Amino acid sequence: MTITRRNILKIGGAAAALPLLGSRAFAQSEPLKVGFMLIGTVNDNGWNFGHATGAKFMKDALGDAVAEPTIVENVPEGPDCERVLRELAQSGHKLIFATSFGYGDYVIKVAQQFPDVKFEHATGYQRSDNVATYNARFHEGRAVCGTLAGHLSKTGKAGYIGSFPIPEVVMGINAFVLAARKVNPEFTITPVYISTWNDPAKEADAARAMIDQGIDVIAQHTDGPAALQVAEERGIVGGFGQGADMSAFAPKAQLTSIIDNWGPHYVEAAEAVIAGTWTSGDRWPGLKEGEVVIGPYNESIPADVVAAAEAVKNGQIDGSFNIFTGPINDHTGAEKVPAGVTLTDAELLSMDWYVEGVNPPA
Amino acid sequence: MQFRLEKRPEPSKLMLYVTPVASVLLTMLVGAIIFSLIGYDGVGAVREIFLTPLTNSFKWQDLGVKAAPLIIIGVGLSIAYRANVWNIGAEGQYVMGGLAATGVALATYGMTGWWILPLMMIAGIAGGAAYAAVPALLKTRLGVNEILTSLMLTYASVQLIYYLVRAPWKDPMGMGFPQTRRFAADALLPNIIPGTIVHLGVPIAIVVALIAWFVMSRSVFGYQMKVVGAAPHAARYGGFSENKTIWLALLVSGALAGLAGMLEVAGPFQRMVPGFPTNYGFTAIIVAFLGRLNPLGVILAGIVMAITFVGGEVAQTTIGLSSSATGVFQSMMLFFLLAGDILVRYRLKRVIPAQEARA
């Protein structure tokens, strides 16, 4: 036998499986092992918390059909995540969720070595036979938040703490300011990119700096509640929970929250793997399907403003309203989308331009 | 009752070598007890973190890949620390080495040839050494503490990555994600064992450590480093220039950190990303001390440290131990080592108050 990648994997795989044979031989339908790889910790009260909640939801819904989900925290976007993915695949996990954008290259690479394991990459764009992608239409929630901001902001200026200028983030900024400008045509937003998904100190610093420059509403596309806590402390109009309800950290400042409800998707994916019907593809549900949920509104918000926000929410649910329907100008004022035309999903997923009202970061 | 530390006239040679081993064993013991007390499977945690990576042959490749940069940087630091030059900024020098190599890889994109990798290697070494030259200059000319300058330069280097991958070096195909394009085939480290992830950097790490051991124990350079560190006055008397030693120590440790950066970016990363700084430069400080500032010891220490990283992930997947546990184990190891060092070099003596002695 020559030494090839395949043979080494075979030998190694056989060796790794040996001790398990005893128990495997008798258990025909043993519970499905599902692994989750997170970029932060489950107690970040935001993005990662949302995925952990989804994992628990899956376990509760499927009971003995799935094993207690395995969650690996604090996995950096780099070669370290490749090792974790292999570790999960080798230890018998047949369904693995990789929940950060930067895992993409490595998911594809490891998936080639484990054709019988299904991988799902959140927010990614690279797929293969056993790698699916899934995401949520967060920008629909951003349109609701932007409507609130347009009504409530006194300075007409919002700050937006982003991680990286990837389409998913750019889309959220654009949806937010488009909605705000439908209420207040002078509304502007200033994004700041902090090059990380989770660094409470950096998030708080960025929030303070922007408040000092006159913004009174803040939104963030990072994982934790740090920016909201600053908003609470400085007494500005407010901000929004991202990924989960963060009102515990900012009872006055959280106007509402965009809650990621991954649970139903995790149940569906696990059921498909158990039934053997899982196929690769891209899933991108939103408010309508209940994967994006708008949390409770702060009781300080006037009823007519809540009604306006609800109208935007319900319009997106019944399909009568789409935030990315023209006319839309880019940040220089040139027309980008003509009146009546709606951007397609493909156009959204490659969005690299800002709409009017965004002060593009240097 | 009071105690005083009293310097031992001659620290036991045996104990100097026993303490690193003892601190690893103590870490395992105390770790098992602590984690059991707070309601985890403590013994299981120790088994998964320290033993599984060794017993599962699937994990060996991970150990090699994780240990290689730690060993290369740790060897450089152990040379500098021998000379009492406290280069804390290996992380920054590692980043600059990686960036310099990336620069070559991007400039030669579209070209082919065997010369690209060696050129990247030279660039990486030069980048790391040049970045370490800044603290050396400040220390020798202005007397600025190298601990502060080298540490602070690390943060500057990280900002430089952010700048480069966002604008001039951004991947045209990256969907706006701040990263460079994937390097061309000739700018990537070859795999030395087919079917694994073991790249050329692993044997290079061993060779670097062996050369460093030979140089430190057999050459005038090594003697100079050790004498200046151990007995500065005697060294000056003997004609060794202190400034020259500071320069050499920083340049060598910076160059090796830069080499590690080149190997990482051309090996596991395959492109420059904002997540490139992964604390190898800081972890290597523990590795250098755990390895007794001896290049051969650094090889072992690098492997031990890699075990805790790889094992930490195993423990997360198998027994659900939080990722912070890895940090706790690594910190305990350094704590026991440093505490052990104190007791090897000093003895604890009870101070008997004067009146009590009279009575």
What confidence tens digit (pLDDT) does each residue in B64-95 have? 999 999 999 999 999 999 999 999 999 999 99
pLDDT tens, residue by residue, A39-68: 998 888 889 999 999 999 999 999 999 999
Does A20 have pLDDT greater than 50? no
Smallest CA–CA separation between A362 and chain B, in Å?
10
Q: Confirm or reject contact between A113 and chain B (CB < 8 A).
A: no
Is B197 in contact with A82 (Cβ distance < 8 A)?
yes
Closest-approach residue (CA) in chain B for A12: B58
User: What is the model's pLDDT at position B45?
Assistant: 87
- What is the mean pLDDT of the segment spanning A306-316? 96
Hey, where are the domains in chain B? 2-358
Is B268 in contact with A78 (Cβ distance < 8 A)?
yes
Chain B residues within an 8 Å CB radius of A84: 313, 317
User: What is the model's pLDDT at position A24?
Assistant: 40
User: What is the model's pLDDT at position B322?
Assistant: 78
Higher per-residue confidence, B280 vs B275 = B280
Q: Where are the beta strands (DSSP E) in chain A?
A: 34-37, 70-72, 95-98, 118-122, 131-134, 157-162, 188-193, 217-220, 238-243, 254-260, 282-283, 292-294, 328-329, 335-337
Range list for CATH 3.40.50.2300 in chain A:
30-136+262-283, 138-259+291-349
Smallest CA–CA separation between A13 and chain B, in Å?
9
Count of A-B CB contacts under 8 Å: 98
Give the pairing of strands A131-134 and A118-122: parallel
Does A22 have pLDDT greater than 70? no
Of the ranges B37-51, B151-165, B305-319, which is most confident?
B151-165
What would the two tokens of residue A31 be? 């519970």
Mutate to test the interface with A, among B177, B193, B271, B273 (most CBs of A within 10 A): B177
Whole-angstrom distance, CA of residue B23 vs CA of residue B42: 18
Task: Tell me which CATH code domain A30-136+262-283 carries.
Answer: 3.40.50.2300
Is B175 in contact with A5 (Cβ distance < 8 A)?
no
User: What is the model's pLDDT at position A19?
Assistant: 43
Higher per-residue confidence, A129 vs A5 = A129
CA A306, A311, A313: angle at the middle one, nearest 5?
Answer: 95
Q: Are A223 and A197 in contact (CB under 8 A)?
A: yes
User: What is the model's pLDDT at position A23?
Assistant: 41
Is A6 in contact with B195 (Cβ distance < 8 A)?
yes
Closest-approach residue (CA) in chain A for B159: A195
ipTM over 0.90: no
- What is the mean pLDDT of the segment spanning A12-38? 61
Does B197 have pLDDT greater than 70? yes
Smallest CA–CA separation between B224 and chain A, in Å?
39
Q: Are B260 and B252 in contact (CB under 8 A)?
A: no
Closest-approach residue (CA) in chain B for A197: B275
Q: Confirm or reject contact between A213 and chain B (CB < 8 A).
A: no
Higher per-residue confidence, B231 vs A287 = A287
Q: Specify whether the backbone of B238 is left (phi greater than 0), alpha (psi in -120 to 50) or beta.
A: alpha
pLDDT tens, residue by residue, B299-311: 999 999 999 889 9
Does B22 have pLDDT greater than 50? yes
Does A265 have pLDDT greater than 90? yes
pLDDT tens, residue by residue, A129-153: 999 999 999 999 999 999 999 999 9
Specify the range with the lowest mean pLDDT, choosing from B17-31, B127-141, B229-243.
B229-243
Task: Tell me which CATH code domain A138-259+291-349 carries.
Answer: 3.40.50.2300
Is B176 in contact with A165 (Cβ distance < 8 A)?
yes
Higher per-residue confidence, A26 vs B140 = B140
Specify the range with the lowest mean pLDDT, choosing from A3-7, A44-48, B315-319.
A3-7
Return mean pLDDT, chain A: 89
Does A183 have pLDDT greater than 90? yes
pLDDT-based confidence at residue B353 (cuts at 50, 70, 90): low
Q: Which of residues 58-97 of B touch A (CB under 8 A)?
A: 58, 62, 65-66
Chain A residues within an 8 Å CB radius of B66: 83
Contacts of A60 (CB under 8 A, 6+ apart): none
Is A79 in contact with B274 (Cβ distance < 8 A)?
no
Higher per-residue confidence, B190 vs B196 = B190
Q: Label residue B11 exposed, middle or buried (CB < 10 Å: 0-12, 13-18, 19+).
A: middle
Is B195 in contact with A5 (Cβ distance < 8 A)?
yes
Q: Which listed CATH number (1.10.287, 1.20.1070, 3.40.720, 1.10.3470) goes with B2-358?
A: 1.10.3470
Q: Where are the beta strands (DSSP E) in A54-144?
A: 70-72, 95-98, 118-122, 131-134
Q: Are B101 and B261 in contact (CB under 8 A)?
A: yes
pLDDT-based confidence at residue B355 (cuts at 50, 70, 90): low
Residue that has been written with the tokens 């031992």 in this structure: B8
Smallest CA–CA separation between B210 and chain A, in Å?
27
Specify the range with the lowest mean pLDDT, choosing from A6-15, A187-196, A200-209, A222-231.
A6-15
Q: Which of residues 118-177 of A touch B (CB under 8 A)?
A: 125, 164-167, 170
Does A32 have pLDDT greater than 90? yes
Beta bridge pairs of residue A66: A32
User: What is the model's pLDDT at position B347?
Assistant: 83
Return mean pLDDT, chain B: 90
Does A27 have pLDDT greater than 50? no
Is A352 in contact with B176 (Cβ distance < 8 A)?
yes
Whole-angstrom distance, CA of residue A89 vs CA of residue A279: 18
User: What is the model's pLDDT at position B176?
Assistant: 72
- What is the mean pLDDT of the segment spanning B206-232? 90
Nearest to B275 among A3, A76, A84 (CB): A76
- What is the mean pLDDT of the segment spanning B27-48? 89
Is A90 in contact with B58 (Cβ distance < 8 A)?
yes
Is A4 in contact with B273 (Cβ distance < 8 A)?
no
* Residue A159 to residues A212, A301, A337, A343, Cα–Cα distance (Å): 11, 20, 25, 25
Is B317 in contact with A70 (Cβ distance < 8 A)?
yes
Closest-approach residue (CA) in chain B for A87: B314
Specify the range with the lowest mean pLDDT, choosing from A215-224, B104-113, B181-190, B321-330.
B321-330
Higher per-residue confidence, B265 vs B329 = B265
Does A165 have pLDDT greater than 70? yes
Does A296 have pLDDT greater than 80? yes
Is B57 in contact with A12 (Cβ distance < 8 A)?
yes
Closest-approach residue (CA) in chain B for A88: B317
Nearest to B317 among A6, A88, A125 (CB): A88
Selection from B124, B145, B282 nearest residue B208 by Cα: B124
User: What is the model's pLDDT at position B356?
Assistant: 53
Specify the range with the lowest mean pLDDT, choosing from A65-69, A149-153, A219-223, B224-228.
B224-228
* Residue B116 to residues A21, B189, B344, Cα–Cα distance (Å): 48, 11, 49
Does A332 have pLDDT greater than 80? yes
